[in-house]
Amino acid sequence: MKKSLSVISSLLFAALCLGFAFNAYAQDVTALNDANTVISISEQNYVYDGTPKKPTVSVYYNGVLLSENVDYSLKFSDFVSAGTVKVTVTGMNSYNGSVTKEYTIKPITFNSKNLSVTFDKTSLVYYNSAVHPVMYVSFNGQLLLQDVDYKVTYSKNNAPGRATVKITGIGNFNASVSKTFIISPQKVNSVSIAKNSATTATVSWGKVDKVSGYEILKYDANKNSFVHAVYASADSTSYKFTKLQNSALHSYVVKAYKTIDGDKYFGEQSDAVSVFIKPAKAQLTSVTMKNSTLNVEWKKLDCTGYEIIYTTDSKFKKGLKTVKIKNSNKTKKAIKKLKKGKKYYVRVRGYVTNNGKNYYGAWSKVKTIRTENKKRRAAHEYVNCPFKKCRNLFAELFVEIRVVRIEVFLVQIILQQTKAFAKALVVHQFAFTQEANRIADIRVFYKTQNVIIGQSSLLLCCHIFMHIGKRVTG
């Protein structure tokens, strides 16, 4: 019992000591308030520039300057962004309570010098709706955020052409700056090319809305780029090119454009389309036969090479023989060991190799030639006449005009071995002379072989006929 009373007495004594100590402390601590405390700020107004705006602060209690971090502490609200900044002074040690003071950071004003605007060109294309381009707006090199630092409004941005965006500052910025930008037509799509004839082709494309026209460009191999070819109106969706170069690849692209104050602003060019124009039609200049060798000649073409086909089938369906000439400068070819006594049909065409593929031109006109069936007979074999002088003269005539395998009506008359030859010869003399004078180059066709006799040979023939006739009748 005595021990418990002793513990209680000790506790009561300790509490009493504490109370006295607290009362002494309370009498020494001073409360800060608006009545006894003055806060002095070195700068009341700042302009936002993105850097901290923290003025010098002095605190006076009843005219006595207090020391920061000894008698009080300072706390600032946001002192970087535009707006009102609060400075709170809180007492410490011998002071308690708090006092607040304010100062201002004003928004900065936009202008064309401190504000930079860059547009993403890929977003400046009209796709049948209003254009709101991607923009990069920066203030003195600091990238700004739309709807945080500024807001935008547009005008004339619903078609290809010149549009305007107005940038108005908010938050840390004020005032407005306007920038213009060009809205380009969209890329031309559905481009195709079709060949109309040997040297003409038509380029077609899909219509683009609200444009001034189209430009068609052709690939230039020397410049390794597409160059201007022709302009087309806004209503056009095709253009026909004529007189295209043979043996060449022709490639085109199409761009839509909008004319603004006399200047053309182009959209993205289309994908390229191409057509290959084949070599021109070949032309045979000579087809001759010597023994069993076929000699073929043709006009030179702008191509890689030539292809010759010969056959005994006039329809070129069977028995085709092909000869390929890989040298474009070569314009003749000898084809040996043909069958004797056959009629051959010959034609030629040019070809061009492009990217490993051959493009063939049109075939030439077909020429025909016949190989010899038998060996040539001597001239005197055609004339078996009892009149020695007559036979010799006719032998000389046949050597002159080089007739082979021919059965001539006049020879048949000679072979009758009668004086009627002379009379018939005189009768026909006038007709031969008259025909020779009338035609510069006469063609005489016989049943078994086509033989061409020039005027000089025919006159010689008539002269000999008359001479023989006079001798026989005389």
Tens of pLDDT, residue by residue over 68-84, are 999 999 999 999 999 99
The predicted model gives 325-335 an average pLDDT of 92
On the question of pLDDT at 439 being above 70, the answer is: no
For residue 168, the model assigns a pLDDT of: 95
Q: What is the pTM of this model?
A: 0.59
pLDDT band at 26 (very low <50, low <70, confident <90, very high): very low
- Quick one: which H or E segment has residue 13? helix 2-28
Task: Find the DSSP H helices in 128-249.
Answer: none
Across the chain, what does the average pLDDT equal?
Answer: 80
User: Closest Cα partner for 48 from 110, 137, 141, 112?
Assistant: 110
For residue 292, the model assigns a pLDDT of: 86
How far is the C-alpha of 65 from the C-alpha of 58, rounded, in Å?
7
Pairing of strands 45-47, 161-169: unpaired
Of 246 and 443, the one with more pLDDT: 246
pLDDT band at 191 (very low <50, low <70, confident <90, very high): very high
Q: Do 266 and 255 form a contact (C-beta atoms < 8 A)?
A: yes
User: Percent of the chain scored above 70 by pLDDT?
Assistant: 73
Q: State the number of CA atoms in the 13 A half-sphere of 146 facing the CB.
A: 13
pLDDT band at 9 (very low <50, low <70, confident <90, very high): low
Residues 198-214 have pLDDT tens digits of 899 999 999 999 999 99
How far is the C-alpha of 50 from the C-alpha of 108, rounded, in Å?
10
φ, ψ (nearest 5 deg) of residue 26: -60, -35
On the question of pLDDT at 438 being above 70, the answer is: no
Query: What is the rounded radius of gyration, in angstroms, for the C-alpha atoms of the chain?
Result: 56
- How far CA 26 is from CA of 20, 65, 131, in Å, comes to 10, 22, 71
User: Percent of the chain scored above 90 by pLDDT?
Assistant: 61
- Quick one: which H or E segment has residue 235? none
- Longest Cα pair distance anywhere in the chain, in angstroms? 202
Distance of CA 73 to the CA centre of its chain: 73
Residues 360-381 have pLDDT tens digits of 999 999 999 988 765 544 444 4
Residues 417-428 have pLDDT tens digits of 445 544 544 444
Which residues are within 8 A (CB) of 286 and not within 5 positions of it... i.e. 6 or more apart? 295, 296, 297, 332
How far is the C-alpha of 349 from the C-alpha of 328, rounded, in Å?
11
The predicted model gives 122-139 an average pLDDT of 92
Q: Counting every residue, how long is the chain? A: 474
